[in-house]
Amino acid sequence: MTKGKVLVIGSNATRIEVKGGGWAATGQYLNETVVPAMAVIDAGYEVVLATPDGTRPTIDPASESADHFDGDADAYARARAFWAEHPAMSEIRTLRSVIEEGLEHYAGVFVPGGQAPVVDLMQDAELGRILRHFHDAAKPTALLCHGPVAVVSAMPHAREFRAALIAGDGEKAREWARGWQYEGYRMTVFSASEEKVVEDHILHAQLHFDMPSALTAAGGSVAATDVDFQPHIVIDRELITGQNPRSDHPIAKAFVEALDRSTTAA
């Protein structure tokens, strides 16, 4: 017996639009995916990984490094083995099948980062339905790094909102965001200055919008650390957000604590 099931939402995106036309390769980050998942399993919960099309997420090669595990080669090896071998990371569900099974069977939901969620998850209608359920039920909802931008999917016009951001029309984006469930929530996300490091050294291109601007336009109250790439999480009601890859362990701890409080109260 486990304490309950926890839904982990993965992305199927492998490329992201960049300014000037064209695309850059992307995916989701290894540490951001497995560190919280391993913590949840160690705490006694069952993890169910689901993606929009039911196929395995692509791990961004930029995250395939012990650097994202504080230089600990053993921790990196354990993470790679967990991703490669653990059934929870290979038995992938579709978002639709999870919805049809019944979201009431899940104790909480987690969305890791990497830039991939910016492409598909932030405008996915089925994820929007999932997030609205957890919001309405006040169940723990955790998102890390670029993952917090996925909460945009809960708004009635997520696709139009994202299109307005790409077009650089902030006023139109704010209009499309009306009625958003997370308006006024305090949250954090990968900062604009952190994004510039990725644009300059990994993507070698510029994105159409940064994550804090997107969530601010949606109606969120966004805060980031003064120093880039320092661990930082924000908790507001059921929503738990982490700023960057180094926030993996802090958000895992906060998420498990919220799950335990929620399941005990139930």
pLDDT at 208: 97
pLDDT (mean) for 178-201: 97
67 pLDDT tier (thresholds 50, 70, 90): very high
Integer Rg of the chain from CA: 17
Cα–Cα distance for residue pair 204/215, rounded to 1 Å: 24
Task: Calculate the average pLDDT of the chain.
Answer: 97
pLDDT at 266: 72
Fold of domain 5-265: Rossmann fold (3.40.50)
pLDDT at 1: 84
In percent, the amount of the chain with pLDDT more than 90 equals 99
| Whether residue 79 has pLDDT greater than 90 | yes
pLDDT per position as a tens digit, 25-46: 999 999 999 999 999 999 999 9
120 pLDDT tier (thresholds 50, 70, 90): very high
Residue 162 near residue 209 (C-beta atoms within 8 A): no
Residue ranges of domains in the chain:
5-265
123 pLDDT tier (thresholds 50, 70, 90): very high
Cα–Cα distance for residue pair 32/28, rounded to 1 Å: 8
pLDDT (mean) for 134-155: 98
How far from 44 is each of 38, 40, 48, 183, CA to CA, in Å?
Answer: 10, 7, 13, 33
